[in-house]
A and B are shown apart, each in its own frame.
Chain A
């Protein structure tokens, strides 16, 4: 278990008739940033709540930091940090007071030191004596993030850390998450923001009640779409279609105006030959480039396939 931060086995949770999480089996390594990607109501928050020992699973098992869920939940709570979906600050108390309370509850040895450290890191030090209720949405979110980290947890759960933030604040929070990763913490990130997941996550789980697909962002793209290459020509591409289609390594070919769009297993080795053949046939090749799918395409495709099943 030593290199595993989180292990779940057939973890399920129902709310009456509603099945919120269905048979989730997953392993997250220490130091990994794992993204939960899924539409509204997918069960992301429910999963996080189970793994932070806030609600009990209906079925299945899980180990967090090597501790079995339901065995010693206090120990689990001590070893993880949670950014809840809504910040839930004590609005009438100052920013510093909000953090002091949680530092004490998390049994932090140097309360004042940790509070100062995180207030400074997140750019809230100047406003430490202001009531949290007077803070902007972004500042509240940052305060809530600080609150989740006071006890330097090995695993950090972040439930939609950048939702509702302006681009600059979102950027700051993302940079902060990168910093946490660099410190070797395990991070579980729930998000709807695909670029964010793409930038931050080592692996992504596309999730809707059950796990649809898990992999690195690159793997998800490749498995789903293969790799596509575009050849830009100076003339209409249509005439060269039979030529490329006759090549056995091309699994799919499409001509759109001056472009040939090909699906290839291994573009690095196939491309030079294809370019040569095209030039010999009289084509004026202007550019050759790989078509990258945005993660959004991947995600929408996965969810669509899941709908069709």
Chain B
């Protein structure tokens, strides 16, 4: 356990010196939050724009609204719901950057050999690297989400909209499913970077292949089905199982030896 903490602290000491990585961690959640609040602000201050949007909405979307709801309010809350998906996917995007950077760093500084010469197990090393990437991503996302909740309350002047948005399903999705998916994407990134010769390839493979696949898979499910709490838990369970499989594979495929000898 102590070794994992050592690795995490070491990773952070390095990662947080990299302005590029830090700005991704901070600005990505803030950007999405600002976009959502801006959208909310304009739809609540001029109801005509929400009405205009409502005219263009396909019927099956409108059907999702409850009986007796104002169509405009319904549209606003529906679109906001769609936006909330971002709080599940942001913690999936950020850590790829961190994880790839940590592997790039080790490989270019040739610091992996002395590290692997210590009595650290592969599991501890990978868990350390994984948590070092996942934790800041998740915290930054949650921070953005808190700002979003506060902003919504202020803009709408009450708790009714936030109340409709934040059912147990969404909370579970943001607090549980998001972090679990984050673990999944980091594992994938670490696995790829331990296998390929060029760490930059790892980042590219991770962000070009895994991200779209995961966003498509989970995004489609979330977008097309009514997002109930049961679905959120089900998806979380699936993500948890995938995490376990992925972590196992990651440790198995992390061939200490070829990482050392293949990288020149």
Chain A interfacial positions (CB closer than 8 Å to B): 15, 49, 52, 54-56, 74-75, 77-78, 80, 82, 84, 86, 88-93, 97, 101-102, 104-107, 144, 147-148
Contact = CB atoms under 8 A, between A and B. Distances in A.
B200 interface: no
Contacts of A93: 10, 13-14
A106 B119 contact: yes
B10 A74 contact: no
B17 interface: yes
Contacts of A92: 13-14, 17
Nearest to A53: B117
A101 B10 contact: yes
Nearest to B13: A93
Contacts of A56: 257
25 contacts: A52-B117, A54-B113, A54-B257, A55-B257, A75-B119, A78-B119, A82-B114, A84-B113, A84-B117, A86-B110, A88-B112, A88-B113, A88-B115, A89-B109, A89-B111, A90-B10, A91-B109, A93-B10, A93-B13, A93-B14, A101-B10, A105-B119, A106-B118, A144-B114, A147-B114
Interface residues of B, number: 25
A104 B6 contact: yes
Interface of B: 2-3, 6, 9-10, 13-14, 17, 109-121, 256-257, 260-261
Contacts of B17: 92
A77 B125 CA distance: 15
Contact of B117 (A54, A97, A101): A54
Nearest to B10: A101
Given A49-B260, A90-B10, A105-B118, 5 more contacts: A77-B117, A88-B110, A88-B111, A92-B17, A97-B13
Given A82-B117, A106-B119, A54 B256 contact: yes
A75 B121 CA distance: 11
Given A86-B110, A88-B110, A88-B111, A15 B261 contact: yes
A56 B260 CA distance: 12
B66 to A, nearest CB: 55
Contact of B3 (A78, A90, A104): A104
Contacts of A97: 13
Nearest to A97: B13
A77 B256 contact: no
